[in-house]
Amino acid sequence: MTRVSPTAPPAQPALLCALAGHRPSRPPVWFMRQAGRSLPEYRRVREGIAMLDACVRPDLVAEITCQPVRRHDVDAAIFFSDIMVPLKLAGVDVDIRPGIGPVLAQPPRTAADVRALTTLAPDGLGVIEDAARACIAELGDPTDPEATPLIAFAGAPFTLAAYVVEGRGTRDHLAARTLMHADPEAWDALMTWAGDLAIAFIRAQIRGGATVAQLFDSWAGSLSRADYARYCLPYSARVFSALAADGVPTIHFGTGTGPFLDLLATAGPTCVGVDYRLGLDEAIDRLRAIGRPSPLVVQGNIDPALLSCPTPVLRAHARAVVEAGMGADGHIVNLGHGVPPSTDPDCLSDLVAYIHSLRPGKD
Ligand code: CP3
């Protein structure tokens, strides 16, 4: 195995350097949901265009993806889209309603419905590839160390399956959790299909020039450890193993998954995303104990609530997060969940500049 040098990072963007387990000259930082309603320029270009329509317009996707890079000087762009887009491209009747989120017109009610659904394959991924390519035109060629990397993403199989079975976001995902126990065969078909959609969606973004991929398991926190291990982990692991074969570094993020963070690491990502409920130092200790990922790379976990605190309070918290990240081999600074739409964009720009000014471990 190659030894990881903490002192001599190769000439590459800070994000990729951290993902390789190195320490770049300044901490890389980006924010989940950095493109979106907190930006007035986003609200302007989205006016009168439905969310899922915006996601299939390459010019608009590229514009929105690059807005936070221009404004905040973040170290990565995340492809502007939604976890529901591959379902829509597969022909599922899904809409994203403002203030509610994804809503399916006809959630499957029987095992036969599930089987019919899982025969659907995404069509039109060329638009996603084109949109990623349009992002790269502004972000810079992936082989250029000065370029801003583009992060591809998809919803993890459980989060996609939960939306499909419930028909919309719910608090406890009762119907999804019932299905996994009541009909493990239908569950297996649904989760395998959701994993295939995630792989296809991410691969289209990679073909267009994305060099990192993140899997969002936003709803996994509603599961017990045992259910996650048996009914979800194998399907997410399958996605990570497909992406590892493509040679792309990966990030695995789940909300409320602190109690089984080790299982998220076991799925095989390059980097584990830590949500705001778990101390980053504790997360690092737990991952060290299982030796995964290796090198140990974490992402997180500034509490989004602190974005509305007075600057000194936010800065002290951000500094503590950066210091805690020193316990890992590589650390990508991020929030412990998405940017709240009410966030003052100037506060995010200021936070990026502050994080970039820090030399962790030194004064
Ligand atoms: O900047 C980025 O992070 C990239 C774009 C992105 C969006 N959605 C854009 C979006 C990403 C990575 C997502 C992922 C996503 N979508 C997740 C996983 C991440 C998480 O937050 O846990 C989930 C659960 C969804 C489903 C979804 N889509 C919800 C719950 C909502 C919000 C609905 C609302 O109005 O409150 C959406 C819509 C959505 N996706 C918006 C954006 C910018 C807002 C829609 C709008 O601006 O009209």
Check: CB of residue 194 under 8 Å from CB of residue 216.
no
Q: How confident is the model at residue 11 (pLDDT cuts 50, 70, 90)?
A: confident
37 is in an annotated binding site: yes
- ipTM metric: 0.93
What pLDDT does 6 receive? 53
Distance, in Å, from the CA atom of 108 to the CA atom of 321, rounded to the nearest integer, reads 43
Three-state SS at 227: helix
Whose Cα sits closest to atom 30 in ligand 1?
101
Closest CA to 84 of 68, 72, 96: 96
Average pLDDT over residues 164-176: 92
Share of the chain above pLDDT 90, in %: 94
Ligand 1 atom 37: the closest Cα is on which residue?
101
- Using a 6 Å cutoff on CB, does residue 255 contact ligand 1? yes
| Ligand 1 close to Cβ of residue 31 (< 6 A) | no
* pLDDT confidence band for 55 (50 / 70 / 90): very high
Q: Tell me the CA–centroid distance for residue 43 and ligand 1, in Å.
A: 14
Q: At residue 315, does pLDDT exceed 70?
A: yes
pLDDT value of position 7: 52
* pTM across the whole model: 0.95
Is the shortest distance between the CB of 299 and ligand 1 below 6 Å?
no
Cβ(98) – ligand 1 distance below 6 Å: yes
Amino acid 3: pLDDT: 46
Q: Which domains does the chain have, with CATH numbers?
A: 14-357 (3.20.20.210)
pLDDT of residue 361: 44
Q: What is the DSSP string of 8-51?
A: ---SS-HHHHHHTT---SS--B--TT-SSTT-HHHHHHHTT--H
**pLDDT band, residue 171 (cuts 50/70/90):** confident
**pLDDT band (50, 70, 90) for residue 2:** very low
Long-range contacts of 20-26 (CB under 8 A, 24+ apart): 20/249, 20/295, 20/330, 21/295, 21/296, 21/297, 21/329, 21/330, 22/329, 22/330, 23/330, 23/360, 26/355, 26/356, 26/357, 26/358, 26/359
pLDDT digit string, tens, across residues 227-266: 999 999 999 999 999 999 999 999 999 999 999 999 999 9
**Closest to 88 in 3D by CA, of 60, 51, 114:** 51
CA-nearest residue for atom 40, ligand 1, is 82
The CA–CA distances, whole Å, from 164 to 118, 183, 228, 344, 362 equal 11, 15, 18, 33, 49
Euclidean distance between CA atoms 283 and 297, whole angstroms: 11
Percent of the chain at pLDDT exceeding 70: 96
Is the CB of 310 inside a 6 Å radius of any atom of ligand 1?
no
